[in-house]
Every structure is written in structure tokens, then in C-alpha cells.
A and B are shown apart, each in its own frame.
Chain A
């Protein structure tokens, strides 16, 4: 619940220089390469998979990795490699959906309560703080309990449980912006509330929103996979990494590949997103990069 306010960026970077600077460290380059490969694999999962991910008995049950089944086979004789490619599709899509829910709702709530201020702000902050008192995983589980299990509901649950944190950060960022003299200056020339929100606040909040989103994407992918692992997210036979891990757990003594490869895929996906997000936040946040 440590919600620190990211510094509000003052410098402008054109997109090309932004990308160039984001790729300025070996870690970020490695992360980007893995991420591009994952996205590529996810987009063309159907073309790239040697087998139908849900077709059973395409290979011997729990068969070890081989040249035909790169990552081996699961209990039902399904090809793990094909299932992981299709799992990438689901994980990335679900991750993006989750982040979109938290960001859109969180940004709107945070911006509006900060801008309206006064009692709205006081009550809003109180509510957000109470929501933050629920550990994220507990909140997500509670929401799943209401919505029912499933991949989409898990994404919704993780997305909703992320709203209070985003709203809190955006609120503090908006408050620092509202205190800037250029906002007073806009009011002094007679600009309307909507103009100030749209032209003066939102453009300056964008970098923070992007940073928050990129830092949250990894966590979102991880959390939804966690819910699936716990049996609260994607249900069998859906090809989903968390669910695959959960199934593989029982056979790890005899067929460790059933849990190694889905876990590795999940780990690489989360790490690549974190590597890029971490670097992006350094580039966009002048305080983090020591430019202030």
C-alpha cells in the first residue's frame, strides 16, 4: 500500500527518441526481444503450433520432450508446446484487459476526486484507503466468489482489485499538477474546467499512466495465472499457464516438464514485461533517472 507519487515529467520526448532511450540498457533490450517473440507466438499461435492444443492423445501420456513434442506431453496426451503458445495468447490478452480496467477506471476516479477536491476528495480518499486495506489477492478472490470462476471473470477481478491503487497514485499526481502555476495561469485566462482537465492535466498525466500500466502488466499476468492455479480462473481444458501448472503439480515426480515449461513461459512473460516497464519508468520519470 505504499503509494508514492511519481514525479510529473517535465521533458518532452518524441516517440522515436523515447523508444531509443527505453532500449538504452541490455536488460531492456533482452526484455523487448522476449516480449516481441511472445507477442509473435501469441498472435500466430494457430499457425505455429504443431498440434491442436486441446486434441488429446496426439502423443503418449506424460511423454518426455522430444523432437516432435518439444516440451513433452501432459496427462491427456496433449502437446505442451502447442498449449503454451495458445496460453500466451490468453495470458497477454487477459493481462492487457486487466490493466485496461484498472487504468481507465483508476485514472478517471483519481483525476476527478483530486480535481473536484474538498469533500468529494476526502470521502473518495477514505473509500480508496479502505479498499486498499484488502490484500489484493483477497480482494480478487472475493470478487471471483461473486462473479464465479473463469478466465474472463478472473481478469475482471484482478482488474477491479487494481483500481484503488491506480486511483490513489493518479489522485496525488493530479493534486501536484493542480498546484502548478500553469493551471492557475489557465484559469486566469478564463479556461473552463473541462479545458483544464483535457488540455492541461491529462497530457501531463499520460506518462504516469503509461508507467503505471507498464509496471502493472507483469503483476496482472501473474495474478490472473495465480487465480487459475488456485482453480478460480481459467478452467480445464483451457490452455492457460496457471491451470497447466496446477495440473502439472501432481505429476512433477514423474513428468517435471508438465510444470517446468508452463512456469518458464509465465516467468519469461512477466520478466520481459517488467524489464521493459522498469526501463520505461526510468525514462519517463525524471526523478528515477536522476535528471532533476
Chain B
């Protein structure tokens, strides 16, 4: 598979309350066409900012983002607009992500209008097609978002995102706001569409079981950095970074066989305005060594049976 997206040393800083927040700090990864990369981490780790940076909804402070072989961080507004045809997004909040004053038809057709694709009739046909694809009734086009449930709204958001037939979909916590029984419907829909449309996805979530279910590979983020990135089976079968291990062990399971010995971390994630020196995790790590607070460990790659695994830890 060819490389679709190549993110290199991307950093996104912003100023808040007189301090610099390093939301994303030196992140690199690649995504192949049709692949799903899961980005997992706890709130404040920078995963959502990373998603927005890749879309250039937030401007990166440093680094390059190559999409289809072209560095999009250098593009001007107009050129960037054209690239947006190929990269779309679905957000977490199905209540906030749809304009309450637009009918569903207007919401889904807007990308076609913006990019001047087709005429009124072909657009209408395309909207019906998309609504059917995401499992909504044809009469949905004439109704307003507030007439739909959370799960249905998320389907509308997906229809809008896919109307341009993008190659990359960034799904930012797409099922977090939904109840368990609705979650599975949306996960199934995304999985099905991925196969049908050959879609690559950056799937951002804090929910490890959701991430495990949908991803080919997983990147674990902590305080603005990727600490481990590997295939889904590698991450779950043999997590290497102490943080990954603690994170996996913290998830409660209904099946006793799936429970791991719990590694209780002390404290909480530090303030991203004042990250600790060296490895950002050393303040909570049970394996911390003197050198961990000195220099920062870099992501180091080593081959495994299921592809390369990269870990940023002095233990490896």
C-alpha cells in the first residue's frame, strides 16, 4: 500500500492564559491508503489537536504534513481548499457538529456546493445516495438535525464527510457521545464504509476497546507525544511502553479472562504548559530511572512479526 499521509515532527503550540501550551510536540507517523490508524490517549494528551492539525483547522507550529505526496502546510488558502476534497472529518459531538438552522439536505450537500461539483439535480441525487448509504430514510433531507437522535445525527455527519469521496477520514471521537447500543451501529457503519470506499482513517478515541476494534495500527499519545506506535495485536498482546501497559491495565472488563493485573498510576497527567523534563511520563512511571528525567527518549523502531513497532522509552 502506498503512503497517503506522512506526518513528520509536527508540533502545535498555542498561547493560553499567558503560557505556551504544547498540545502536540514532535509527532511523526505515516498512514497508508485504506489503513486505519487509531490514536489513543487520555484527555489533554493532544490527540484531538493532532487531528485538527492534520486537517489544518489548526496551524502547526512546526513540522511537515505530506498528503498525497505534497506538503500541505505550505499551501495557501485556495490551494488548501482544493485538497480538502480528499480529507474529511467527523467530530465527537453530534449535537454541535451540525448547523441547527440547516436542513439535513443542506448540510450534506454543502461540500458539493463549496467545491462546485455537479448541478442541482445531480447533487440532489447524490445526497439521496449518501443518506441511503449511511442508513437514513430518504425523507431525512427535508428535516432539521434536532429531529434526530444522537446516533442518527452521527450518520448525517458521516454522510456529509463522505459526499466528496475523500481518501482520508479523520474521525475525532465519533462514538464517545453515544450509548453502548448505538455505538456498535456507528462502528459497524464506519467499518463497512471503509471497506466499500477504500477509506483510510485516523481514528481518534480515548476508548481502548473501540480503538482496538477498528484500528490496523495504534499510536498511544501522552502529553503531546506518541510514546508507542505498533500494530493493534502488538499493542494489546505485548504493550511495551510503561504508560501503554498502565493504560491497558486500567480498563475494566466484564470478562474476567480479559482482566490484567492493574498498574495503578500515581497522580494525573501534568500540565501541558509545564511539561516535566526528559520523558514526560517519568513522574508517574514505576520504572523511572535517573536518565529518564534527563534527556527525552526518542521513538525507536524495531521489527516484529506484525510490522515495525516504535517505542519511546529507555527500557527498549
Contacts of B236 in A (CB 8 A): none
Q: How far is the CA of A203 from the CA of B106 in the complex (A)?
A: 14
Binds A, one of B90-98, B122-130, B262-270: B90-98
Task: Known contacts A188-B89, A191-B110; decide if A182 and B99 are in contact (CB<8 Å).
Answer: yes
A189 and B57 within 8 A (CB): no
Tell me the nearest residue of chain A to B84, going by C-beta: A190
A185 and B146 within 8 A (CB): no
Scoring A10, A181, A187, A200 by chain B CB atoms within 10 A of each residue's CB, the highest score goes to A181
A186 and B101 within 8 A (CB): no
Tell me the nearest residue of chain B to A207, going by C-beta: B101
Task: Known contacts A10-B146, A12-B144, A181-B96; decide if A189 and B110 are in contact (CB<8 Å).
Answer: yes
B81 and A190 within 8 A (CB): yes
Q: How far is the CB of A147 from chain B (nearest CB, A)?
A: 39
Report whether over half of chain A's contact residues are helix, strand or loop; otherwise say mixed: helix
Is B55 an interface residue when CB atoms closer than 8 A count as contact?
Answer: yes
Contacts of A10 in B (CB 8 A): 95, 100, 146
| Cβ contacts A201-228/B at 8 Å (1 or 0 each) | 0011000000000000000000000000
Is A195 an interface residue when CB atoms closer than 8 A count as contact?
Answer: yes
Quick one: which of A12, A190, A204 contacts B114, CB cutoff 8 A? Answer: A190
B57 and A184 within 8 A (CB): yes
Is B231 an interface residue when CB atoms closer than 8 A count as contact?
Answer: no
B146 and A12 within 8 A (CB): yes
Contacts of A253 in B (CB 8 A): none
Is A130 an interface residue when CB atoms closer than 8 A count as contact?
Answer: no
Q: How far is the CB of A257 from chain B (nearest CB, A)?
A: 51
Q: How far is the CA of A191 from the CA of B57 in the complex (A)?
A: 12
Give chain B interface residues in 122-167, CB to chain A under 8 Å. Answer: 144, 146, 157, 160, 164
B85 and A190 within 8 A (CB): yes
A185 and B160 within 8 A (CB): yes
Tell me the nearest residue of chain A to B144, going by C-beta: A12
Task: Known contacts A188-B55, A189-B84, A190-B81; decide if A12 and B91 are in contact (CB<8 Å).
Answer: no
Contacts of B91 in A (CB 8 A): 181, 184-185
Is B212 an interface residue when CB atoms closer than 8 A count as contact?
Answer: no
11 residue pairs of the A-B complex, CB under 8 angstroms, read A11-B100, A180-B96, A180-B97, A185-B89, A186-B110, A188-B55, A188-B89, A189-B114, A190-B111, A199-B102, A203-B102
- Residues of chain B whose beta carbon lies under 8 Å from any beta carbon of chain A: 52, 55, 57, 80-82, 84-85, 87-89, 91-93, 95-102, 110-111, 114-115, 144, 146, 157, 160, 164
Q: A12-B100, A200-B99 are in contact. List 9 more A-B contacts (CB 8 A).
A: A11-B100, A11-B146, A180-B96, A182-B97, A190-B80, A190-B114, A191-B114, A199-B99, A204-B99
- Residues of chain A whose beta carbon lies under 8 Å from any beta carbon of chain B: 9-12, 180-182, 184-192, 195, 199-200, 203-204
